[in-house]
């Protein structure tokens, strides 16, 4: 439960505390009133900043990366998912080890001053470095297995469509609506970590494989991008991306841009894709009542599409617009198949 929130605007972060000393003193003074036990920063802290803040606040301090890693750890169910999260956790922990043993440290650099804290620190560092190498080897094996599966799919000639989008945009719900498969659907961040693939039939004949992957988020930690390399490679091999956007979110446009920026960082900006504006069932009509169906959205389409003119409007929960989406998928896949391989990266739909 969040008991309080505070913001500070600075030209640049404080090298020692990230925020100013006055802000730290303010947060300390609030503890008797609100009774907080953990302080979370919505940005990445350096190991020294985190250690200094914990010394000043006398409570556990988490940064954005640690919080996301904790959420990921709760939602990793398959062996691959657990390996990816564990690798990211160990890479995050390694530079922060010194703070774990600060209560045992001794003066360094002189004979006879080598204390148990330094010894334990070095032991733990070696153990974590070995664990990181082991996890990387296991994930490399997973990556090679995935590459083998992708080559098999390519030989079969079945196109692959991948769902992408900001976390909690409704990708898993859309996958259930499109494929009819029983998949995990939860109203929470990062409910899906492990890639899930299902075969889907097209209205005009033919099939494609639909893959659901991890949701994106602003300032995605670099450890996660590296650890989830095997998962994200599924996107690089896809013939088409379905970019799912939660139309009801107040920052829908910003979230959409975050996904586009992340795709560009992953060198996937030129992938053919269709933007899917989801959750239209949660919109209200002119009389304030919920939208009755897809047809009643006609009057709203110009405003809904102003930042994605070619987007497809759907309600994954109600099944509205799914048939139209499949028709568009079939049309775009037909275009992609007809184009020369060298020109595929130039095509973008939506």
Give tens-digit pLDDT for 158-216: 888 999 988 888 888 898 898 876 544 444 443 444 567 788 889 888 889 888 876 77
Q: Residue 189: what pLDDT?
A: 41
**DSSP class of 16:** T
Q: Cβ distance 30 to 13 under 8 Å?
A: no
* 347 — pLDDT class (breaks 50, 70, 90): very low
As a whole number, mean pLDDT of residues 115-126 equals 70
Domains and CATH numbers, the chain: 157-346 (3.40.50.300)
Judge whether residue 40 has pLDDT over 80.
yes
SS3 content of the chain, % helix, strand, coil (to 5): 50, 15, 35
User: What percentage of residues in the chain have a pLDDT greater than 70?
Assistant: 73
User: Which H helix or E strand runs over 330?
Assistant: helix 322-338
Q: Residue 107: what pLDDT?
A: 39
Rounded CA separation 259/217 (Å):
8
Return mean pLDDT, the chain: 79
* 110 — pLDDT class (breaks 50, 70, 90): very low
Encode pLDDT of 224-255 as tens digits: 666 666 567 678 888 999 999 998 888 888 88
As a whole number, mean pLDDT of residues 297-317 equals 75
Beta-carbon-side half-sphere exposure of residue 113 (alpha carbons within 13 Å): 7
Beta bridge partners of 160: 209
Judge whether residue 339 has pLDDT over 90.
no
Q: Residue 105: what pLDDT?
A: 44
Q: Residue 343: what pLDDT?
A: 46
Q: Residue 344: what pLDDT?
A: 43
As a whole number, mean pLDDT of residues 131-141 equals 89
Q: Residue 112: what pLDDT?
A: 44
* 263 — pLDDT class (breaks 50, 70, 90): confident
Q: Which residues contact 125 (CB under 8 A, 6 or more apart)?
A: 94, 97
User: What percentage of residues in the chain have a pLDDT greater than 90?
Assistant: 26
Is the pLDDT higher at 227 or at 327?
A: 327
Q: Residue 331: what pLDDT?
A: 92
What is the sign, positive or negative, of the torsion defined by CA atoms of 153, 265, 68, 181?
negative
Q: Residue 139: what pLDDT?
A: 82
Long-range interactions of 136-140: CB distance < 8 A, separation 24+: 136/87, 138/83, 139/80, 139/83, 139/84, 139/87, 139/227, 139/229, 139/230
Q: Residue 82: what pLDDT?
A: 81
CA Rg, the chain, in Å? 24
As a whole number, mean pLDDT of residues 286-301 equals 65
Look up residue 331 and give its two tokens: 């049309």
As a whole number, mean pLDDT of residues 38-43 equals 92
Q: Cβ distance 211 to 195 under 8 Å?
A: yes
What is the sign, positive or negative, of the torsion defined by CA atoms of 65, 68, 70, 73?
negative
As a whole number, mean pLDDT of residues 116-145 equals 82
């Amino acid at each position: 439960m969040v008991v309080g929130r505070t913001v500070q605007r600075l030209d640049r972060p404080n090298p020692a505390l990230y925020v100013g000393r006055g802000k730290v003193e303010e947060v300390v003074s609030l503890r008797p009133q609100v009774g907080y036990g953990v302080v979370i920063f919505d940005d990445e802290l350096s190991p020294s900043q985190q250690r200094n803040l914990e010394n000043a606040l006398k409570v556990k301090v988490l940064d954005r990366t640690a919080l996301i890693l904790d959420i990921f750890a709760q939602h990793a169910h398959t062996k691959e998912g657990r390996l990816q999260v564990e690798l990211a956790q160990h890479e995050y922990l390694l530079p922060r080890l010194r703070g774990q043993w600060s209560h045992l440290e001794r003066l360094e650099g002189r004979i006879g001053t080598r204390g148990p804290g330094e010894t334990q620190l070095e032991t733990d560092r070696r153990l974590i470095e070995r664990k990181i190498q082991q996890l990387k080897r296991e994930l490399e094996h997973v990556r090679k297995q995935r590459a083998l599966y992708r080559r098999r799919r390519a030989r079969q000639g079945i196109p692959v469509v991948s769902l992408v989008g900001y976390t909690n945009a409704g990708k898993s719900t859309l996958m259930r609506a499109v494929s009819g498969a029983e998949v995990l659907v939860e109203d929470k961040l990062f409910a899906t970590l492990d890639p899930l693939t299902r075969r889907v039939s097209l209205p005009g004949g033919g099939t494609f494989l639909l893959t659901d992957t991890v949701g994106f988020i602003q300032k995605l930690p670099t450890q996660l991008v590296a650890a989830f390399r095997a998962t994200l490679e599924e996107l690089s091999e896809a013939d088409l991306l379905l970019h799912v956007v939660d139309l009801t979110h107040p920052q829908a446009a910003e979230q959409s841009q975050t996904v586009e920026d992340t795709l560009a960082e992953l060198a996937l900006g030129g992938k053919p894709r269709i933007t899917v504006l989801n959750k239209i069932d949660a919109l209200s009509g002119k009389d304030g009542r919920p939208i009755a169906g897809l047809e009643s959205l006609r009057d709203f389409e110009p405003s809904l599409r102003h930042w994605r003119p070619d987007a497809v409007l759907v309600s994954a929960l109600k099944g509205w617009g799914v048939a139209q989406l499949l028709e568009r998928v079939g049309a775009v896949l037909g275009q992609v198949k007809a184009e020369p391989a060298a020109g595929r990266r130039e095509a973008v739909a939506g």
